[in-house]
Structure 1
Amino acid sequence: MRQYFTFFILGLLITFSSCRTDFDTVASSGDLKFSKDTVYLDTVFKNIGSSTYQLKVYNKSKDDISIPTIQLKKGLNSKYRMTVDGMNGNNGKIFNDVTLLAKDSLYIFIETTADITDANPTDFLYTDEIQFDGGSNLQEVALVTLIQDAVFLYPKQNPDGTKEKIEIDGKSVDGFYLDENDAVNGNELIFNNQKPYVIYGFAGVPESKTVIFEAGARVHFHANSGLFVDNNASLQINGDVSTTEKLENEVVFEGDRLEPEYSDVPGQWSSIIFSKESTNHSINHLTLKNATIGLSIQNQDETAFQIKNTQIYNCAEYGILAQNAHLNGENIVINYSGLASLSCVYGGNYSFTHCTFYNNWQSSSHFAVNLSNSLAGATPETNPLIQATFNNCIIYGSSTNEFNLSKNTAAAFVYQLNNCLLKFSSSSSNPDYQFKTDTEHYNQIILNENPKFYNVNLNKFNIDNTSPAFAKGNQAYIIPLDIIGATRTSSPDLGAYQSDVFPK
């Protein structure tokens, strides 16, 4: 009998519970709360999708509510799109009868893809509102995005549906050659400061042509993209001194994601690659960020490749990778590279003066400077290191040893450091690292003294008069102006910056 009674009670419970719905709600009364009253979607290029941004909506009441509509004010014509608690609604624009339980919240995720013609012509802002309910209960959250116009350069599509290709070091990659008579862009071999450029795939500089980057040019590379300078072709970067942190006269190479969270992410794009038969290059006032390899150089000209007043940051592998190249560097700063900030391998001919080679990569296997006269798998495997000279430089970083020599006795290996501050903390009996007694290779070396940079995490490599690098340079090697155009004194500081100029 007791068993029947138990089944009877359970049946009643099931019956009554089945009559209740978990979605019995009251209408929204316009008292929703929001995590923000305006959602700013960071700057995007025209017709390039943004990152996804979120808005949290709260029901602080004791009632389960139903929101009759959540929609974009511009409706189906809006360039924004949303998901509401995982639902797509009507094309991501309009949502009806959205339930929000008592003391609960929901997430709205927002994206946009808009053209410059969609934006306000005076400030280039594209705006809309998310509307909750209507009438006297209407609540709105503003959406704001800055749309930036740009010149887009990319491989054309072939009739068979494949993309245009170019050859780089024997490999076929998605790419195209810059055209000095392009029907849309005009002369693609001149990059000016009128609009930023966005490159997809590899942009090639044709044989015997010169690509010129004028002061203030901005070039953004998509993932796996880069620039290739072919045989007998040349690159000229003609940046100039800037007076503000906007680097208004600098030439800037970086990725095409403009959101702040991408500002310092390594490996967003590939590299600037110079063929070994390319020629007559010069770089002045370039800032390069977030590549895999910043500059990959194989030029073997009798006339050195000139690199001056250049900053290279956040490269997944190398800031500069030079293979049997001929380089002359002045006022260069490199920081944060997965393998080496500067790596000169397979021999070559190098001179660096008033440069700051730092590496703050968080591993113990990186270097600020690496020198080698061999390359595994190459034919021949060794090449002479004709010279590698460092004058008035700083070679430092977060690892124990930031200077590495990889010498093969089958070829020449000539190097010299003069008036340099160097980090090499390991005691070594290796004759190549006798910094105090080997005067053939080392002169006036300051060893393992922190240069006291302003802020290495922000790439601020200025020093003051408390730094051990202060006034320790040799006037015989002086470059009269530092990387930002400040005049050096008769007793110059080591590195790329003169100490009496401080970052803002």
Structure 2
Amino acid sequence: MQFYRLLFVILISVSIIACDEDENFTTDPNFKLTFSTDTVKFDTVLTGFGSTTKQLKVKNTSSNAVHISHLYLKNPESAYRLNVNGIQSNDLMDIILDAKDSLFIFIEVGLDPKNEDALRRLEDQLSFELNGQVQKVILETFAQDIYIVDTDISENTIWTGNRPYLLTKPVWLAEGVDLLINEGTKVYFKKNTALHIKGNLEVRGSFQRPVYFGSSRLEELYDNVPAQWDGIYFYNESTTNLLSHFTVENGINGLNFSKTILNNNPITIEYGIIQNFAEKGLFASNSTIVAHDLLVNNCGEECVRIEDGSGIISHSTFYNSWFFSPRSASVIYYKGVGENSFSISNSIVYGTRTNELELESLVNVSVDNSLLKIGSNVQSNYSSVFTNCMFNENPDFLESEEFNFTLKAESPAINNGSIDFISTYFLDLAGNRRDEDVAPDMGCFEFFEIE
């Protein structure tokens, strides 16, 4: 059996690199191969880990065969790796490409860490020699060194924006331990990883440099794909948490709070984007959430679910048009007990279902100056909680299918928010002022004309 396998490999190789004496070859020095692209670009590659595989198609448009005398990379020590029609080599001689046939080259890149903070550009040149001429295709990528986080955090720690952090396993922040994440920090997660908070998390992003939490798959193919990692979980031992100016996306569950109400400290969440989660975007059980200027969208279940706790939400946008599976949950769900309370102000709650707001309890619940997608029967049932609300009017987002939830000029949400929050929340999610016209807009984005 081993002999036949070897014979098969030899025959395949010969079919690629051996000349057929009976075949006609083009000898025109002006003939050129056709390439599927003139530059093969990789997305940013994290050093120490492999890249995706890119494909280059090389087409012979001639009615005769061509003889590629030499195919090679310019740099003999290149980080790029070639697979040419099944042969793994960065330097091949005498390749025959039949008339009207194509050659497929698969390209990968592997990069070693250099302990550098800045992105570095890596370029090489793939050359094809035939008929006394040389054609070239550029290979290009950016390399990013990272800090690997593969142990639990047991002492006070600061993460900075110098280079990304990569969690390769579920990581626990110990009780009583503080983790400060400064502006511009990027935190990447491998598959099945999560950040578990028993200590205290402080996320201090900025308008210009928000903190990012997301998948380690940086290729464009994985943009806006849910379930690539798990989520961020907070437990009752966690006593003080602030999340300001951040994006968390593309996981199973986004932010999850459990029994943090026991420490009597509310969780402050502001200027955040939570999107593309297979289950819930923001889940809180026995917790108190104070949130403003949030954008939560595209979740397989609720965008926000609060159980047996309290929530104060202002100037936020919640939207769901999940299309990976049929939707069965509303955009927002709330169930309180005892003295729990829940309020929504100056916000947009919209989506593709008839009812996007579900309230299990109406005690200590208020919804004011907000645009809501909700059926007439449910409106009647909840009528005691509504003040100055709009129902079932299209908010006219600019491009919701492209995750752009800024408002069009004709949006009914414009200038229909309450002025009661102007002094506190005078900047929207993009850093634009809300106090420069007659009234603030509903939602997390203030409309302004682009000049």
* Whole-angstrom distance in 2 between the partners of 1:223 and 1:413: 41
**How many Å separate the matches in 1 of 2:92 and 2:265?**
66
CA change 1:25–1:130 in 2 (3 A) is: farther
118 and 333 in structure 1: CA distance in 2 versus 1, 3 angstrom threshold? closer
- Determine which of 439, 442, 446 is the counterpart of 1:498: 446
How far did residue 251 of structure 1 move?
0.9
Contact 2:350 2:356 in 1 (8 A): yes
Which residue of the partner structure matches residue 88 of structure 1?
87
SS in 2 for 1:340: coil
Match of 1:419 in 2: 369
Identity of aligned residues (%): 31
Whether the 8 Å CA contact 1:281–1:305 is kept in 2: the answer is: yes
User: Kindly tell me: are residues 23 and 406 of structure 1, through their superposed partners in 2, closer, same or farther at Cα, counting changes over 3 Å?
Assistant: farther
1:105 paired residue number: 102
User: In the alignment, what sits opposite 1:16?
Assistant: none
1:313 Cα deviation from its structure 2 partner: 1.5
1:460 corresponds in structure 2 to 404
Paired amino acid for 2:153: L
The more displaced of 360-369 and 277-286 is 360-369
2:299 — aligned with what? 337
Q: Secondary structure at the match of 2:230?
A: strand
Alpha-carbon deviation of 1:213? Answer: 0.8
Cα RMSD (Å) of the superposition?
Answer: 2.7
Q: Does 1:354 align with 2:315?
A: yes
Q: Which residue of 2 aligns with 1:380?
A: none
2:70 corresponds in structure 1 to: 69
Mapping of residues 130-145 of structure 1, within 5 Å: 130-133=126-129, 136-145=132-141
Report the AA paired with residue 93 of structure 1: N
Superposition deviation, residue 304 in structure 1: 0.6
User: In the alignment, which residue of structure 2 is the partner of 1:434?
Assistant: 379
Secondary structure (helix, strand or coil) at the match of 2:252 reads strand
1:303 is aligned, of 243, 248, 265, to 265
Q: Deviations over 1:380-417 (max 9, x none)?
A: xxx5571121111110012222112346xxxx954221
CA contact (8 A) 1:131 1:141 kept: yes
Query: Which of 229, 232, 237 pairs up with 1:277?
Result: 237
Q: CA deviation at 1:327?
A: 0.7
Partner of 1:157: none
Instruction: List gaps (5 residues or longer) in structure 2.
Output: 1-18
- Please tell me the residue identity of whatever aligns with 1:367: S
AA matched with 1:132: F
1:237 deviates by 0.7
C-alpha distance after superposition, 1:81-132 (max 9, x if no partner): 12222x133xx3233443321111121111111135499x997111222222
Q: CA 1:444/1:60 → structure 2, altered by over 3 Å: closer, same or farther?
A: same
| TM-score, normalised via structure 2 length | 0.86
CA distance in 2, matches of 1:56, 1:193: 39
Q: Is the 8 A contact 1:27 1:68 kept in 2?
A: no
- Separation in 2, partners of 1:145, 1:332: 34
Letter in 1 for 2:275: Y
Q: What CA distance in whole angstroms lies between the structure 2 residues aligned with 1:474 and 1:461?
A: 20
The change in CA–CA distance for 1:56 and 1:118 in structure 2 (over 3 A counts) is farther
Match of 2:13 in 1: none
| Contact map agreement 1:359 1:366 (CA 8 A) in 2 | no
Match of 1:326 among 288, 294, 297: 288
The answer to which of 265-274 and 456-465 deviates more is 456-465
Query: CA 1:372 to 1:97, structure 2 compared with 1: closer, same or farther past 3 Å?
Result: farther
Going from structure 1 to structure 2, the CA distance change for 1:439 and 1:372 (only over 3 Å counts) comes to closer
Larger Rg: 1
Amino acid at match of 2:355: N
Q: 1:450 aligns with which of 394, 397, 400?
A: 394
Q: In the aligned structure 2, how far is the partner of 1:461 from the partner of 1:48?
A: 35
Q: Which residue of 1 aligns with 2:153?
A: 178
1:103 and 1:209, CA in 2 relative to 1: closer, same or farther beyond 3 A?
same
1:210 corresponds, among 156, 169, 178, to 178
Q: Is the 8 A contact 1:226 1:270 kept in 2?
A: yes
User: Unpaired segments of 5 or more residues in structure 1?
Assistant: 1-20, 155-175, 181-186, 243-248, 374-382
CA separation in 2, counterparts of 1:475 and 1:22?
82
Partner of 1:15: none
- Asked if residue 488 in structure 1 is aligned to residue 434 in structure 2, the reply is yes
Shift, 1:79, TM fit: 1.3
Shift in CA distance, 367/22, structure 1 to aligned 2, threshold 3 Å: farther
**Where does 1:10-21 land on structure 2 (aligned, <5 Å)?**
none
Which has the larger displacement, 23-32 or 262-271?
Answer: 23-32
* 170, 187, 192: which one aligns with 2:160: 192
Question: 1:23: Cα distance to partner?
Answer: 7.5
Q: Does residue 46 in structure 1 map to residue 47 in structure 2?
A: yes
Q: 1:100 to 1:147 in 2, by over 3 A?
A: same
Cα distance, 1:259–1:308 mapped onto 2, change above 3 Å: same
TM-score scaled by length of structure 1: 0.77
Q: Deviations over 1:355-403 (max 9, x none)?
A: 1111121233242212235xxxxxxxxx557112111111001222211
- The whole-number CA distance in structure 2 between the counterparts of 1:103 and 1:483 is 55
Secondary structure of the 1:476 match is helix
Contact 1:25 1:66 in 2 (8 A): no
SS of the residue 1:54 aligns to: strand
Determine the structure 1 residue equivalent to 2:3.
Answer: none
Aligned residue runs from structure 1 range 110-189, under 5 A: 110-117=107-114, 124-133=120-129, 136-154=132-150, 176-178=151-153, 180=155, 189=157
